[in-house]
Amino acid sequence: MKPPAIFGMVVRLFGVYLLYQAITALSAYFTMAGISMPGLQMSMQNGYRPALVNVLVHAVAAIWFLYGAPPIQDWAYPDSTRGKNLDSTETPNTTGPFCVSCGKSVPVGSKICPVCGWTQPG
Q: Which of 18-32, 68-82, 84-98, 107-121 has the highest mean pLDDT?
A: 18-32
Mean pLDDT of 99-122: 81
Confirm if 122 and 109 have CB atoms less than 8 A apart.
Answer: no
pLDDT, tens only, 37-52: 455 444 555 667 777 8
Residue type, 7: F
Listed in sequence order, the residues at least 6 apart from 23 whose beta carbon sits closer than 8 Å to its beta carbon are none
CA distance 118 to 91: 20
Q: Residue 97: which pLDDT band, with cuts at 50, 70 and 90?
A: confident
**Overall pTM surpassing 0.85 (yes/no):** no
CA distance 24 to 55: 8
